[in-house]
Amino acid sequence: MATFRSIRELTRALQQGSKLLSNMFLQRKTVAVKYDDALDTLDGDEDINISSVKMYIDKLNLGISSYLAAENNARWDQYRDLIRWLQSITNPYVHFGDLDLADIAIYQHEYHRHLGARASFFVPDDYEHRIANGSTERYTSQLAQYGKMTLEDPRVQPLIDSIHRHHKGYDQEGYIL
């Protein structure tokens, strides 16, 4: 299994296959890729055959997966450290997230569960207006997974009610505009 010791190695490996992958992506809706097109993509190197390309792509995928798994473990360790630190201090924790079901779930499961009443979800005064002008797609994409979540913090119930009433969610980036 290929592994990468640095982001530079991963980037170099991805760049080596980027032309071929780009062409394969562009050709994905066609039944077949013409031999001449594939040869042009590979800079005329006829020694590369389909099985070696597949092996190369599989090797890249394994390397990327192992790199991401290592990154995930590092992020999990950082998250645990953050929770331990937040539990060790007495300050309140205010979660500034998107006004949508997924972010409420993150708040409840990753922060409120560990910090209790010291944790709160920031709900702006104009939340009703912002949600009414939010994204239906965001709501629809999250409804199946989060639509019937168990409420752990009753203070977010008015926000959840508004999200369901308007069938919309709102990105926090909207506050920048």
Q: Which helix (H) or strand (E) holds 94?
A: strand 93-95
Main-chain dihedrals φ then ψ at residue 7, nearest 5 degrees: -65, -35
| Contact assessment for residue 165 and residue 101, using Cβ atoms and an 8 Å cutoff | no
124 exposure class (CB count in 10 Å sphere: 0-12, 13-18, 19+): middle
Give the start-to-end residue ranges of the domains of the chain: 7-82, 91-175
Q: How far is CA 153 from CA 60, 128, 157, in A?
A: 43, 19, 8
Nearest partner of 49 among 37, 34, 39, judged by Cα: 39
The CA distance from 104 to 169, in Å, is 11
In the prediction, which pLDDT does 131 show? 96
CA distance 105 to 112: 10
Question: How far is it, in rounded angstroms, from Cα 13 to Cα 62?
Answer: 12
DSSP bridge pairs for 30:
none
What's the pLDDT at 80?
A: 82
- Is residue 1 very low, low, confident or very high in pLDDT (cuts 50, 70, 90)? very low
Highest mean pLDDT among 45-49, 62-66, 67-71, 144-148: 144-148
Kindly indicate the confidence band of residue 30, based on its pLDDT and cuts at 50, 70 and 90.
very low
| Residues 86-112, mean pLDDT to the nearest whole number | 91
Q: What is the mean pLDDT of residues 72-94?
A: 81
Number of Cβ within a 10 Å radius of residue 12 = 11
69-105: string of b/e by CB count within 10 Å (b at 16+)?
Answer: eeeeeeeeeeeeeebeebeeeeeebebebbbbbbbbb
Predicted pLDDT at 89: 86
CA distance 149 to 138: 16
Q: Per-residue pLDDT averaged across 50-64, rounded?
A: 57
**Residue 79 pLDDT grade (very low, low, confident, very high; cuts 50, 70, 90):** confident
